[in-house]
A = this chain, B = another copy of it.
Amino acid sequence: MGSCVTPAISGPLLELERQFLDQSTVIERWFREQWHEHVPPFYGSVDLRNAGFKLTPVDMNLFPGGFNNLDSVFLPLCVQAAQAAVERMCACARRLLLIPESHTRNQFYLKNIERLTDILHLTGLEVRLGSLLPEITAPTSLMLPNGGSLMLEPLVREGNRLGLVGFDPCAILLNNDLSGGVPAILQGLNGQCLIPPLHAGWHVRRKSRHAAVYERVVHVFSEEIGIDPWCISPAFRVCGGINFHERAGEECLSDQVDALLVGIRRKYRELGIEDEPFVVVKADAGTYGMGVMMVKDASEIVGLNRRQRNRMAVVKEGLPVGEVILQEGVRTFETIDSAVAEPVVYMMNHYVVGGFYRVHTARGSDENLNAPGMEFRPLAFDTPGTIPDSQQEPDAMPNRLYTYGVVARLALLAASIEIEEMSPAPGDADSDCGCGGVSPESRLRPEGDQP
């Protein structure tokens, strides 16, 4: 079994990159077989941390924002992949209803929705935006900084179908992660393709469940290509019954942090790594980088002051944190213009379609970069990450990005399996489009019937 820790002379992560590079044919074939058995999500993004000696996903987002941060060179790949996704999920779809997050004032997010709409448009879909906001009672135009605009419309429910006034879509694409639960208007839909399925929302999804599936995926993958699964998989533990305000569950947190640190220290010693181990404490259902802290000692988690406890106690939409995942901390050794950077990889269907670096000038390599003040550097990712180049060194840009794409796809595959296993009914993940095939008038006439 190979090691991902490299002699200092050859630079960080070189060994893992070399192994991925040497075995790209095996890796791609393995993924093809996996996607033959598991339905890939429509889209997803994965935040990665690259410590040099270890490269792991830290967040797998099934409702990705940030498409606006992708360089326009990635657009053709996005469109082609989205075409494949639409074909697979809903070949006959003509109209798609996109339901965005409800924070309408975030210009960055609106640009994401604009870009996503453009991509879907180019696949041949009529796309309109339906808002879950109660104050959107009539079509409302939102101005964008680039001079464009987005039209948000109120949702209309008729029986088991959801649409807009005068717009009955075949497919509904959620870009809303359902952190606050499934609104009544989205419940009990029938005959429309709902993507992703409701049970992929953060109201039921748990980071720890994803982490457990990811561990299984990595185990199989690592055996296939002969690497130490440790190189791409962070250790984790879970604590339930947490109430940060009332300091409930602190003992579990402290014990598990301790256990993780002991394990990390042992492995670091084994491999001669001199970094100080740390653990990331995160809300098990949290998103948006909220409810996250890094600890280097178990005592830190019991000695939280009121401000720290408040910060950990609630996540997006004010939801209280009752379950926590504790994850082996992975530093990011990547820097851009001397600011700490972590790669974010975007996928549609099962294809890597681009990425960028999240950069934070005020944070350290062992801190959460998904925080106010973060910036995005689309240009640093100058190739799509799908094309390794065996003529170049293993750590040359195309090869490093290929490595990132492989790990991101492992997280995506874990998400597929996670959604499958969460599915309330078999086949639910692949819900029916209900648009009844191709319209007769657009069929090509048989050979004899020429004009």
Interface mask (A6-32 → B, CB under 8 Å = 1, otherwise 0): 000000000000000000111111111
Count of chain A residues near B, Cβ 8 A: 60
> Nearest-CB distance from A164 to chain B (Å)?
17
Give CA–CA (A219, B450) in the complex, Å. Answer: 9
A384 in contact with B124 (CB, 8 Å): no
Which of B25, B33, B34, B94 contacts A29, CB < 8 Å? B94
A186 within 8 A of B: no
Taking CB atoms, residues of chain B closer than 8 Å to A93 are 29
Give CA–CA (A74, B439) in the complex, Å. Answer: 34
A36 within 8 A of B: yes
* Chain A interface, >50% SS class: helix
A224 within 8 A of B: yes
Q: Which of the 9-residue segments A79-87, A191-199, A242-250, A269-277 touches chain B?
A: A79-87
A337 within 8 A of B: no
User: Known contacts A26-B124, A33-B442, A216-B444: does B86 contact A84 (CB below 8 Å)?
Assistant: no
A438 in contact with B33 (CB, 8 Å): yes
A220 in contact with B92 (CB, 8 Å): no
A387 in contact with B79 (CB, 8 Å): yes
Give CA–CA (A314, B79) in the complex, Å. Answer: 44
Give CA–CA (A81, B77) in the complex, Å. Answer: 9
Give CA–CA (A124, B26) in the complex, Å. Answer: 6
Taking CB atoms, residues of chain B closer than 8 Å to A75 are 387
Taking CB atoms, residues of chain B closer than 8 Å to A263 are none
A388 within 8 A of B: yes
A447 within 8 A of B: yes
Give CA–CA (A31, B86) in the complex, Å. Answer: 12
User: Known contacts A27-B124, A87-B32: does B438 contact A37 (CB below 8 Å)?
Assistant: yes
19 contacts between A and B (CB under 8 A): A24-B121, A25-B122, A28-B122, A28-B125, A29-B93, A29-B125, A32-B91, A32-B123, A34-B442, A35-B87, A36-B438, A73-B73, A76-B386, A83-B351, A122-B387, A216-B450, A219-B451, A220-B443, A220-B444
